[in-house]
A and B are shown apart, each in its own frame.
Chain A
Amino acid sequence: MTSTRLIDFKGYVFLAVLVAAVVIVPGLNLLLPADNPFHIPSYLVPLLGKYLTYALLALAVDLVWGYCGILSLGHGAFFALGGYAIGMHLMREIGPRGVYANPELPDFMVFLNLKELPVWWWGFDFFPYAALMVLLVPGALAFVFGWFAFRSRVTGVYLSIITQALTFALLLAFFRNDMIMGGNNGLTDFKDIFGIPLQTQGMRASLFALSALALGLGYLLCRYIVTSNFGKVLVAVRDQESRTRFLGYKVENYKLVVWVISAMMAGVAGALYVPQVGIINPGEFSPANSIEAVIWVAVGGRGTLVGAALGAVLVNFAKTWLTGAFPELWLFALGGLFVVVTLFLPKGIMGLIGSMDSVKAWTTRRRAVAKPAE
């Protein structure tokens, strides 16, 4: 059973860690001199920020998988669409500073011999429009997809497979130059946002703080949802879908609402990810990315939210380290991790923490029972 308070003990710890990260990471980067042992080098700030956006993606996956039983193997698609939306804005921001110095068209369009901006690029020079698209594009795709899938009562493995097909189809589509989305190379060479260069320390610190804020708000939104009556219905759908229908709930509507919210969260995560890594290309749609996101959630603990975020950060930390130290080992390590978690830690890292609690409770109970007998 999940606790019913909006913020439980684990939630306070989680939010406190986030606040601490917002103070410490930019603080140690901006305030300490480079030769200080506690100095955080500038290249690390966006890397850590990237972990936070992955954590937000993991929350989105956990919301639908952990609480409603929808195993999405295509959440990377919503993440990438959010990333492309902000990437389009960043491309327009480059303006005449591109190689071809065209004030209107990004370099790759000039290269493709385009004379004017395609219709779907209109408006992206205006930041609020791009920000709206970060939510609307993944949301709309999720709505259409969910409308058909949930109404047709596609569930379980079948649903997982079509989510995988969805992201794969988008991967192929975005690879094509005719999409005019940068094709194979994607969108890159970003210069600045709001006139501030992306590479400055201040901007990196701000993006890090913004990612932490988005993660915190995303967490609170998820908590609100899962502790509400709506969330109780979600769990009922996860555990007894057919029974829930007989109680009078239109299961497809519940799934659709939570699915769209989750897709929008993934979109926001992607939008914060792109300015920090400086590129978005069709590779982000690769099915392997979506599967990795599911592994983060499984490692951290499905249906715990905090665990999903923790899993994303830990697995990616391990990935950064291993791909640097032993590049050929990473995929074996990831696969092995998934097997170990599935076999021995069905509730992930959070389950481990939880079972320590119950061991403690059990031993104290034992002692309490044992005492009168002495």
Chain B
Amino acid sequence: MDQKISPELLYLNDVSVVFDGFRALNSLSLTIGEKEMRAIIGPNGAGKTTMMDVITGKTRPTVGTALFDGGVHDLTRLDEATIAGLGIGRKFQTPTVIENHDVETNVELALKADKGPFAKLFSRRTPQVQERIDEILERVRLKNARHRRAGDLSHGQKQWLEIGMLLAQEPKLLLVDEPAAGMTDAETADTAVLLREIAETRSVVVVEHDMIFVRDLDVKVTVLHEGSVLAEGSLDHVSSNERVIEVYLGR
């Protein structure tokens, strides 16, 4: 499959993941276009994290198709590192940074580069690399914390660092799991601005619980429930949907 067979960047069709009889994903179908930003909402256990696991290669779907870059790459056959190399970046719900490295090194490790062991054995931090690190730290406002141990950062700062690491990877598709968790209102608003900025050149999938934040993003929303898509459309459209109200209010 060398040619793009569809205009979609990400194409999930009829994906099911079964853990010991429990259907975490149930015939999920979803497409994300180039430079599209999508918000994904859904109650706990709706399958949001499992969906990200499938896209990033952590979990193999029981059945179904997962294609990337217009059908060129079959995500169900690749490992996490290869998928990351293709240009899918992921930010975790709880910030996971390399605590024993300083902030700069965390960004440096994420930077898009040859990530083979021998390349890394002989590469040095060049001025260009330093410049790129500076740019990213400037954007995520961690310039003053650059030499601090990542483990000593506050929760909010770790979130920013992870977003910085995501930027450093220069992915085509960003999967962002609850970026606003643990942030102040001002930081949350700024995160929305940053994500909108990023979405001008890349595709972004945001999983979020915070409805105010989703409203700030002002994008198409997909509602997941019990492992499949319940509704799709603008936030106003989905929030007036009978089924969505039922699921969220638990009637």
Judge whether A248 and B117 touch: CB under 8 Å.
no
A253 to B79, CA, bound (A): 13
Contacts of B56 in A (CB 8 A): 246
A246 to B96, CA, bound (A): 11
Decide yes or no whether B38 CB sits under 8 A from chain A: no
B81, B101, B165: the one contacting A249 at CB < 8 Å is B81
Decide yes or no whether B36 CB sits under 8 A from chain A: no
Contacts of A254 in B (CB 8 A): 117
Decide yes or no whether B8 CB sits under 8 A from chain A: no
Judge whether A247 and B105 touch: CB under 8 Å.
no
Decide yes or no whether B80 CB sits under 8 A from chain A: yes
A236 to B120, CA, bound (A): 13
Per the CB 8 Å criterion, the residue count for chain B at the interface is 35
- Binary interface encoding of chain A residues 231-254 relative to chain B, with 1 for a CB under 8 A from any of its CBs, else 0: 011011001101111111111011
B84, B101, B115, B124: the one contacting A235 at CB < 8 Å is B101
Judge whether B84 and A229 touch: CB under 8 Å.
no
Decide yes or no whether B189 CB sits under 8 A from chain A: no
Judge whether A230 and B121 touch: CB under 8 Å.
yes
Decide yes or no whether A225 CB sits under 8 A from chain B: yes
Contacts of B125 in A (CB 8 A): 229
A257 to B124, CA, bound (A): 19
B80, B120, B149: the one contacting A245 at CB < 8 Å is B80
Contact status of A248 and B101, CB under 8 A, knowing A1-B149, A228-B120, A232-B108 = no
CB distance from B60 to the nearest CB of A (A): 13
Judge whether A229 and B80 touch: CB under 8 Å.
no
Contact status of A249 and B115, CB under 8 A, knowing A1-B149, A225-B121, A229-B120 = yes
Q: 18 A-B pairs, CB-CB below 8 angstroms?
A: A1-B100, A1-B149, A228-B123, A229-B125, A230-B120, A232-B101, A233-B109, A235-B101, A236-B98, A236-B109, A240-B96, A242-B80, A244-B109, A249-B115, A250-B81, A250-B115, A250-B117, A253-B116
Per the CB 8 Å criterion, the residue count for chain A at the interface is 24
Decide yes or no whether B216 CB sits under 8 A from chain A: no
Judge whether A233 and B110 touch: CB under 8 Å.
no
A251 to B122, CA, bound (A): 17
Contacts of B69 in A (CB 8 A): none
Contacts of B105 in A (CB 8 A): 232
A274 to B209, CA, bound (A): 65
Judge whether B120 and A247 touch: CB under 8 Å.
no
Contact status of A239 and B79, CB under 8 A, knowing A225-B121, A230-B117 = no
Contacts of B99 in A (CB 8 A): 239-240
Q: In chain A, what residue has the closest Cβ to B171? A: A248
Decide yes or no whether B208 CB sits under 8 A from chain A: no
A235 to B165, CA, bound (A): 17
- Binary interface encoding of chain A residues 1-32 relative to chain B, with 1 for a CB under 8 A from any of its CBs, else 0: 10000000000000000000000000000000
Judge whether A243 and B98 touch: CB under 8 Å.
yes
Judge whether A246 and B117 touch: CB under 8 Å.
no
The 8 closest A-B pairs by CB, nearest first: A248-B84, A245-B80, A230-B120, A230-B121, A229-B120, A250-B81, A257-B117, A236-B98
A246 to B92, CA, bound (A): 10
B90, B100, B102, B122: the one contacting A246 at CB < 8 Å is B90
B79, B101, B108: the one contacting A1 at CB < 8 Å is B101
